[in-house]
Amino acid sequence: MVIKPRLKGGLALTNHPIGAKEFVKRQIDYVKSQDKYEGPKKVLIIGSSSGYGLATRISLAFGAGAETIGVAFEKGVEGKRVGSAGWWNTIAFNEAAEKEGLVSKNFIGDAFSMEMKDDVIKFIKEEFGGKIDLLIYSLASAVRTDPIDGVTYRSALKSTTKDITGPTINFEKEVMEETTMGVATPDEIRSTVKVMGGEDWKLWIEALDKGGVLSEGFKTVAYSYLGPKVTYGIYKEGTIGAAKRDLEHTSDVLNDFLKEKYNGEAYVSLSKALMTKASAVIPIFPLYAALLYKVMKEKGIHEGTIEQKHRLLTQMVYGNNPVIDEERRLRPDNWEMREDVQAEVEALWDKVTPENFKEISDYAGAREEFMQLNGFDFDNVDYDADVDLDELAKLKP
């Protein structure tokens, strides 16, 4: 079967397994080109198969020699359907890790369930040396079934103030178009907090603590985004912003608990805007990202997912140069948020039109990044070659 890209707005309907291998390899190559670092030895990553979670796993394994457990929600081959990008990323990671003798174990399923927590804890106890040093929480999801009340909550990407209309990029049609984000009901805000807030992170820490699998000095970091003024309406003041504030509150609660019991730490880290499966579907965000890339690349301070997470880990979480704000949040988004960067992004934002957006933004770069998340647009992958799905179907993460 020859696999071609098919898009629907900001969603990729297909992905390329051979391209996924290249996607993972390039991130590994980056980490190997950098100095090794002293980091954690045993790590659990929730949301390990794509975006920031995957980059974190690659940095920790190939940069610090960590053994990793990944939890992700992904699909394999079903009939003529190729499976999800995160499925192939995980298989590619495993193959590369195995070659270097790095232990990597995966749990594919619902991280929000108690069953998943029990399975992971059992594995840590019986086959992973009994304890973990670090938990990274990098989930992005639209639904969560609360394991305690059994209710399924759906997150909404909405405003909490007023209707927000603004331009975005449609990668399918390759046009800049207006999108409107409606106002959330109180119920939609509450549901989004249920899905993307800190409740599940806390349940993980409580379960791991009860299971006796946290080491002395244990750390946990949850990923979040804040963003600048131009995206406040959709992010900071949106439903997602409400959820992220809940996450920050949770980090303080967990920090107190972990400090007391394990001499440990809990942080939220605010990362830079990047194209991922999750961010590509947020209204307005892709255009902001394309303008931001233009400015940051011109200034020589652009980072992809791997550069961003490698800097967070080597400089901040396991280094001596943490950038922490007054709200105790780690700030690897500090270059994105620089005043000169934001002033230039704002100037472009005022100038950008459906006619000029491809020229004045880094549209090509943002689109390439989006395609590469799904294994496409690598110059050294032959996309006309036949992909043997039956063979690939035998592989499991």
Q: What are the residue numbers of the active site?
A: 235
Region at 268 (left for phi over 0; alpha for psi -120 to 50; beta for the rest): beta
In the complex, least distance from residue 380 CB atom to Na ion, rounded to whole angstroms: 25
In the complex, least distance from residue 351 CB atom to ligand NAD, rounded to whole angstroms: 23
Q: In Å, how far are 214, 257, 258 from 261, measured between CA atoms?
A: 10, 6, 5
Q: Give 385's DSSP letter.
A: S
Specify whether the CB–CB gap between 258 and 265 falls below 8 A.
yes
Interface with ligand NAD (CB under 6 A), residue from 17, 47, 167, 332: 47
Q: Which two tokens stand for residue 47?
A: 């949301």
Specify whether the CB–CB gap between 34 and 319 falls below 8 A.
no
In the complex, least distance from residue 347 CB atom to ligand NAD, rounded to whole angstroms: 22
Interface with ligand NAD (CB under 6 A), residue from 30, 73, 267, 293: 73
**Region 126-155 residues binding ligand NAD, contact defined as CB under 6 A:** 138-141
In the complex, least distance from residue 167 CB atom to ligand NAD, rounded to whole angstroms: 18
Q: Give 238's DSSP letter.
A: B
Angstrom distance (rounded) from CA 220 to CA 211: 16
Q: Which two tokens stand for residue 137?
A: 């929480």
Q: Residue 284 in 3-state DSSP?
A: coil
Using CB under 6 A as the criterion, what x/- string covers residues 283-322 for binding ligand NAD? ----------------------------------------
How many other CB atoms are found less than 10 A from the CB of residue 139? 21
**Region 237-276 residues binding ligand NAD, contact defined as CB under 6 A:** 271, 273-274, 276
**Binding site, annotated residues:** 47-52, 73-74, 110-111, 139-140, 225, 244, 274-276
Angstrom distance (rounded) from CA 113 to CA 48: 16
Q: Can residue 228 be called a binding residue for ligand NAD (CB under 6 A)? A: no
Spell out the residues 6+ positions from residue 220 whose beta carbon is closer than 8 angstroms to its own. 134, 135, 136, 137, 201, 205, 254, 258, 264, 265, 266, 267
Q: Can residue 223 be called a binding residue for ligand NAD (CB under 6 A)? A: yes
Q: Residue 387 in 3-state DSSP?
A: coil
Residue 218 interacts with which of ligand NAD, Na ion, none, CB < 5 to 8 Å by class = none
> Listing from the earlier edge strand, what are the strands of the sheet with 42-46?
104-108, 67-72, 42-46, 132-137, 214-224, 265-270
**Binding site, annotated residues for substrate:** 225
In the complex, least distance from residue 236 CB atom to ligand NAD, rounded to whole angstroms: 12
- Residue nearest to ligand NAD according to CB distances in the complex: 51
Which residue lies nearer to Na ion by CB, 55 or 132?
A: 55
**Binding site, annotated residues for NAD(+):** 47-52, 73-74, 110-111, 139-140, 244, 274-276
Which residue lies nearer to ligand NAD by CB, 110 or 252?
A: 110
Residues paired with 45 in a beta bridge: 70, 136
Stretch that binds ligand NAD, among 9-17, 121-129, 173-181, 219-227 (CB under 6 A): 219-227
The residues that touch Na ion, with contacts defined as CB under 5 A, are: 47, 51-53, 138
Q: In Å, how far are 132, 210, 211, 328 from 255, measured between CA atoms?
A: 17, 16, 19, 10
Specify whether the CB–CB gap between 188 and 158 falls below 8 A.
yes
Phi, psi of 42 (to 5 degrees): -130, 120
In the complex, least distance from residue 205 CB atom to ligand NAD, rounded to whole angstroms: 16
Q: Can residue 71 be called a binding residue for ligand NAD (CB under 6 A)? A: yes
Which residue lies nearer to ligand NAD by CB, 1 or 11?
A: 11
Interface with ligand NAD (CB under 6 A), residue from 15, 27, 50, 179: 50
Residue 10 interacts with which of Na ion, ligand NAD, none, CB < 5 to 8 Å by class = none
The candidate with the shortest Cα–Cα distance to 254, out of 246, 243, 242, 266, is 266
How many other CB atoms are found less than 10 A from the CB of residue 327? 12
Q: Can residue 52 be called a binding residue for ligand NAD (CB under 6 A)? A: yes
Interface with ligand NAD (CB under 6 A), residue from 3, 24, 58, 111: 111
Q: Name the site residues for ligand NAD (rule: CB under 6 A).
A: 47-53, 71-74, 86, 110-112, 138-141, 223-225, 271, 273-274, 276-279
